[in-house]
């Protein structure tokens, strides 16, 4: 007869492994029964009721294992021949979706469906820096199957409602709304031509995790709606839209905000395609009721959304609508003043401190289609700089056609409703339908934002007029176009609108596109150009030389350029570069190799220096023979030397010619600009560049320690606003003159050269300044 403790052990062993909704401890639940599949797929970790699993009952040491289990409260060891059983609590996933039981989980190693969406534009676990992300990808192989259907994108945490996107000939494009941190997404494809399409649990699924980090290290692009002081806050719209969505200020804010999100999504994708990272400008945000989806509006969900400032001008509607561009209304009384009015209103609203730049995009809500005169009044499309305000302005004549949420993007860019010119404008005769009007409005405004960020017109892309195809970035099928009279069709990546490569290079260097992972930006963004021996030219920049635009005679846009930064712009770039004429001309076609060259040289942080005539700079005209027989070279000049009565001046330091002569101090004459610089020597002699005027300030050199002048920091624009002296001991004087006007430039000779004097021009004050260098 068996001992009594064995009977007790047998009774306990049976109850220990009956796990049908068992109330045993969590340790016991981890060894619950798992059915063994014949395939090599990972076993499900769902909990089933049942008897002792085969792993235990078939083992000859079951009793001893159970005794150990009771004493140690741990599961029995699993033999090596068995696959490991996942023991994560509360994670029940279906088995292979290919078996018709549901789609595989993100953690599953089971094979996914052949028709699972494949995202081509971004990799899993990528970091991005904007709220709305553009995706594109394929279903199966488009070369062998042209599937039609729908793509559903949902968040695993249900933090944003699912969105639905058409799939055309196995291609899809979509937008994803992101929040800071990890965004875990599920993509489901459905098509009436595929099996199990009507099941409640889709089986053609894939998963994607995107991490979003807001780039709070960069200045934001401010969004402003400008209103006249007596404006009712409405915009042009047709009666059907007025009834459906209204035309008030709240609707305008939603549409303008969504347009800015599309600018971000488009620009970030373009930067990535140009191998410059996923850089993009940021938008200032506020905590408000979410407008990016319909559910947020209905339920009043609060989110951090792009802030739209509403600014009232001191002008009336009549005054604003009278101020148009000449090409919009040749009868306008004060053509072009709208930019100044917008700049004044923005400046009064933001009240920037001196030297604090603001980047502002303005939507003029009081723009109005005047059917009688067939013009858009109160509209101007301009972008540029007004003091410390970088400003882009555009009218609201196409605002009715904009989407106001992510769900409306594809319908907006697919809406073939003809433009009713009884109520709204057919802008430039290129907005004959609603989707084309959305292109012109959103795209042309983005063009002006490009000007705001420093982009000139280009040979192609947004900064030409390619934004008329902006819709192709967000849709896979283009409708009939009244502009081209074409029936449309499938539009792929190669058909899309783009930023020009030179625009992307400018963005990479712009402070608004800085990322949290970037190294600290140098304060000096200037570029200097130095002619040296053998007709060569040295370029120096404290932040590195990024690229050079090469213009030949008659060019109004750049067709040829040379890049110096690495692929994604994340590494160090050269701070000094030797440039030869032959190297430049080798980049030109045969019919332009002998043309006069004009260069625009860009630094790694957005600074620029223009060389109007490279041949002249590299010629003998830049050389000076010193009295001691040495050759010196004139640097490129700061200031335009175009003031009335301007005369060239040049000073060769006596201390350069006579080694025994010692410079002891520098006296600067200045007021609101630089009047002159006097170099004073130990023997009380001096040399004057410019004029004695304004207030003199002295800067003494520590001659006991061998201190001498090694360069200058210059603030200049049309003329020279101020100057600071830089010495061999690393000292730098205060800026004498106007320290806030103009742009800053550091004049320090390149490696292997020293300063021999100063050169430039002077009228009533100094309007041109450079230095002489020698070996």
- CA-nearest of 350, 269, 346, 257 to 305 is 257
- CA-nearest of 609, 651, 646, 647 to 634 is 651
Contact between 328 and 379 under an 8 Å Cβ cutoff? The reply is: yes
Which two three-digit tokens encode residue 334? 């004060």
Q: How many whole angstroms from its chain centre is CA 520?
A: 18
User: How far apart are the C-alpha atoms of 181 and 702, rounded to whole Å?
Assistant: 55
User: How far apart are the C-alpha atoms of 211 and 232, rounded to whole Å?
Assistant: 42
Q: How many whole angstroms from its chain centre is CA 148?
A: 33
Contact between 176 and 140 under an 8 Å Cβ cutoff? The reply is: no
Q: Active site includes 448? A: yes
- CA-nearest of 279, 276, 300 to 290 is 300
Contact between 644 and 719 under an 8 Å Cβ cutoff? The reply is: no
CA angle 104, 174, 515 (to 5 degrees): 100
Length of the chain: 775
User: How far apart are the C-alpha atoms of 750 and 507, rounded to whole Å?
Assistant: 27
Task: Give the residue carrying structure tokens 């979410």.
Answer: 290
Task: Give the residue carrying structure tokens 């030949």.
Answer: 552
Task: Say which residues have a Cβ less than 8 Å from residue 130's Cβ, sequence separation at least 6.
Answer: 178, 212, 261, 264, 265, 268, 280, 282
The one catalytic residue in 407, 408, 448, 478 is 448
User: How far apart are the C-alpha atoms of 153 and 115, rounded to whole Å?
Assistant: 15
User: How far apart are the C-alpha atoms of 515 and 523, rounded to whole Å?
Assistant: 17
- Catalytically active residues are 448
């Amino acid at each position: 007869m068996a001992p009594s403790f064995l009977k007790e052990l047998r009774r306990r062993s049976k109850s220990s492994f009956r796990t049908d909704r068992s109330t045993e401890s969590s340790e016991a639940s981890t060894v619950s029964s798992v059915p063994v599949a014949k395939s090599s797929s990972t076993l499900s970790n769902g909990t089933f009721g049942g008897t002792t699993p085969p792993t235990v009952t078939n083992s000859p040491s079951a009793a001893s294992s159970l005794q150990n289990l009771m004493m140690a409260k741990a599961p029995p060891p699993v033999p090596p021949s068995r696959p490991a059983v996942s023991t994560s609590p509360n994670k029940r996933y279906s088995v292979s979706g290919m078996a018709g039981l549901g789609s595989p989980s993100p953690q599953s190693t089971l094979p996914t469906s052949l028709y699972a969406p494949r995202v081509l534009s971004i990799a899993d676990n990528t970091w991005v820096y904007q709220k709305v992300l553009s995706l594109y990808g394929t279903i199966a192989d488009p070369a062998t199957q042209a599937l039609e259907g729908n793509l559903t994108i949902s968040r695993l945490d249900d933090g944003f409602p699912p969105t639905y996107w058409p799939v055309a000939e196995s291609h899809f494009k979509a937008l994803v709304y992101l929040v800071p941190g990890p965004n875990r997404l599920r993509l489901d494809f459905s098509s009436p031509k595929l099996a199990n399409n009507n099941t409640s649990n889709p089986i053609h699924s894939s998963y994607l995790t995107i991490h979003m980090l807001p780039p709070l290290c960069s200045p934001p692009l401010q969004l402003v709606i400008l209103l006249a002081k007596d404006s009712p806050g409405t915009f042009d719209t047709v009666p059907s839209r007025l009834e459906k969505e209204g035309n008030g200020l709240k609707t305008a804010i939603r549409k303008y905000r969504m347009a800015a999100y599309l600018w971000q999504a488009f620009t970030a994708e373009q930067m990535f395609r140009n191998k410059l990272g996923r850089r993009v400008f940021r938008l200032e945000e506020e905590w408000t009721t979410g407008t990016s989806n319909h559910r947020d509006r209905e339920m009043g969900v609060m989110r951090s959304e792009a802030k739209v400032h509403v600014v009232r001008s001191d002008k009336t509607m009549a005054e604003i609508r009278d101020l148009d561009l000449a090409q919009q209304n040749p009868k306008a009384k004060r053509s072009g003043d709208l930019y100044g009015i917008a700049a004044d209103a923005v400046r009064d609203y933001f009240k920037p401190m001196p030297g604090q730049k603001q980047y502002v995009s303005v939507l003029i809500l009081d723009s109005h289609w005047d059917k009688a005169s067939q013009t858009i009044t109160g509209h101007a499309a301009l972008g540029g700089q007004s003091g410390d305000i970088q400003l882009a302005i555009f009218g609201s004549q196409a605002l009715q056609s904009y989407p106001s949420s992510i769900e409306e993007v594809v319908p907006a860019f697919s809406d073939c409703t003809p433009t009713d010119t009884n109520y709204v404008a057919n802008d430039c005769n290129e907005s004959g339908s609603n989707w084309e009007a959305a292109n012109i409005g959103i795209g042309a405004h983005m063009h002006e934002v490009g000007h705001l960020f420093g982009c000139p017109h280009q040979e192609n892309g947004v900064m030409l007029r390619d934004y008329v195809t902006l819709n192709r970035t967000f849709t896979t099928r283009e409708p009939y176009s009244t502009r081209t009279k074409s029936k449309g069709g499938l539009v792929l990546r190669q058909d899309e609108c783009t930023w020009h490569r030179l625009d992307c290079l400018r963005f990479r260097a712009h402070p608004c596109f800085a990322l949290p992972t970037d190294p600290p930006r140098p304060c000096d963004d200037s570029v200097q150009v130095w002619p040296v021996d053998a007709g060569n030219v040295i370029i120096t920049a404290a932040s590195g030389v990024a690229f050079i635009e090469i213009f030949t005679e008659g060019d109004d846009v750049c067709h040829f350029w040379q890049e110096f930064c690495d692929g994604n712009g994340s590494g160090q770039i050269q701070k000094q570069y030797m440039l030869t004429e032959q190297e430049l001309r080798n980049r030109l076609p045969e019919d332009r190799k002998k043309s006069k060259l004009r260069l625009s040289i860009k630094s790694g942080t957005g600074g620029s220096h223009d060389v109007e005539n490279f041949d002249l700079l590299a010629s003998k005209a830049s050389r000076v023979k010193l009295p001691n027989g040495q050759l010196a070279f004139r640097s490129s000049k700061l200031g335009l030397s175009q003031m009335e009565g301007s005369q060239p001046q040049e000073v060769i330091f006596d201390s350069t010619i006579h080694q025994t002569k010692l410079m002891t101090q520098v006296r600067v004459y200045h007021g609101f600009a630089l009047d002159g610089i006097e170099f004073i020597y130990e023997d009380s002699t001096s040399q004057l560049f410019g004029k004695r005027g304004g207030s003199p300030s002295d800067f003494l050199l520590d001659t006991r320690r061998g201190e001498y002048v090694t360069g200058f920091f210059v603030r200049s624009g049309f003329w020279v606003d101020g100057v600071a002296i830089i010495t061999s001991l690393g000292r730098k004087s205060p800026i004498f003159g106007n320290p806030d006007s103009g742009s800053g430039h550091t004049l320090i000779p390149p490696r292997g050269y020293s300063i021999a004097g100063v050169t430039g021009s002077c009228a009533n004050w100094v309007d041109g300044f450079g230095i002489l260098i020698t070996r």
